[in-house]
Amino acid sequence: MKGLYPMTTADIVIIGGGVVGVSIAYQLAARGASHVLLLEREEIASGSSGRATGGIRQQFADAIDIRFSIEGVRFYEQFTAAQRDAEVKPPRFLQYGYLFLVTAPESWQAMQRHVALQQSLGVPTQLLSPREVQERVPQLRVDEVIGATFCPTDGYSDTPDMTRALAHAAQQRGVVIRDHSPVTGITIAHGKVQAIQTPTETIATPLVINAAGASAALIARLVGIHDLPVRPLRRQLFLTEPFAALPRDVPMVVDVQTGFHFRRRGESVVVTMPLPESAEEAAMSEQLAPAAFALTVNEQFWSAIQSEARRLCPPLASAALARTWSGLYEMTPDEHPVLGKTEVEGFLCACGFSGHGFMHSPMAAKLMAELILDGASATLDIEPFSIERFRTGNLLPITHLL
């Protein structure tokens, strides 16, 4: 059957046109890599990257995530500044901050420890009193708030537009991007990658990077890896009608106890909260059943959002709802990504970001470029992110701000 398709070649093939795959393509090209091909099954940013909240925060509870986010902030600051005159301009990185509201004493004690760690790594996080919270965002109710943390260099951006701007910048540096090119097969011989197939062509290549997001485990099966523990987890977001009763520069506001959070999107507000996952949904996700990838929405979940809004930001509870949509996180058991080599020579992974792909893709791309072009990562050790940690039980610690 191979004779039916044209044979092309590439030095590096990236599977996935979300922010992770596009970031890797950009960083490889920026460092001089040539013959880089990116394959996207639909269109750039048509998956999770086109449906995300777009937050970029350095307020984490562990040094690994903080370091990844510091690089994310640095990169997006520099990229948006450098591309102002580009044909495809990136959206603004709105550094209005992240404001975490704390209502439980034990959480407040933990948050103070987290802030000390963040500050020790150079992140300018501040501790705020309830009065200072209300001065910053007068619409918030603070009668339950014990305190808050705020980092002024955190913020948010438009994920689909940023991904497309990165894709354009990569193309300007020689990367070839092919939309509507789903990967249907990967040829392996003697334990090494030889070629990759789409419905219309076979591409000879020695190196494939699996950046397929929530579908990464399905791509890994094409090379005989059946234990890549990346599963989809559905998240639902709501967009209000134009809403004037919040400041234009409102930070990303997050309730630590419930995960309820909101930010501006132009004239409107994006609001979300973790959607409860049933045992049946979790089982389908673990099995990678087709239903686990369905982007269904629960319209009744808006009432739960309104209830949280009444508790923390009463004006927001009366906002009119314009639309709702869902997207997929790509979860791993320790909620950290899978990066680097696998037992199949030439098959690398960059997936499993567990909701942090937009903010952590710049560091991940930098590490992957170092591994591929230099033979090892120098900025941080990439080895702890290997798929092998799930086989040996040497998982990275799960840390939450909660």
As a whole number of angstroms, the distance between CA 242 and CA 245 comes to 10
Dump pLDDT digits (tens) for 97-150. 999 999 999 999 999 999 999 999 999 999 999 999 999 999 999 999 999 999
As a whole number of angstroms, the distance between CA 401 and CA 390 comes to 24
Q: What is the mean pLDDT of the chain?
A: 96
Dump pLDDT digits (tens) for 290-336. 999 999 999 889 999 999 999 999 999 999 999 999 999 999 999 99
CB 25 within 8 A of CB 39: no
Closest alpha carbon to 101 in 272, 320, 259, 332 = 259
pLDDT over threshold 50, residue 57: yes
Tell the CATH superfamily of the 2-51+160-228+334-392 domain.
Answer: FAD/NAD(P)-binding domain (3.50.50.60)
DSSP 94: B
CB 259 within 8 A of CB 287: no
Domains of the chain, by residue range, sit at: 2-51+160-228+334-392, 96-155+231-331
Dump pLDDT digits (tens) for 347-385. 999 999 999 999 999 999 999 999 999 999 999 999 999
- Taking domain 96-155+231-331, whether its CATH number is 1.10.3720.10 is answered by no
pLDDT at 2: 38
As a whole number of angstroms, the distance between CA 38 and CA 173 comes to 13
pLDDT at 193: 98
Reading the block at residue 116, the tokens are: 């000390």
Binning pLDDT at 50, 70 and 90, where does residue 3 land?
A: very low
What is the greatest pairwise CA distance in the chain? 72
What is the reported pTM? 0.96
| Cα 342 from chain centre | 22
Reading the block at residue 215, the tokens are: 């579908």
Sign (positive/negative) of CA torsion 203, 207, 212, 217?
positive
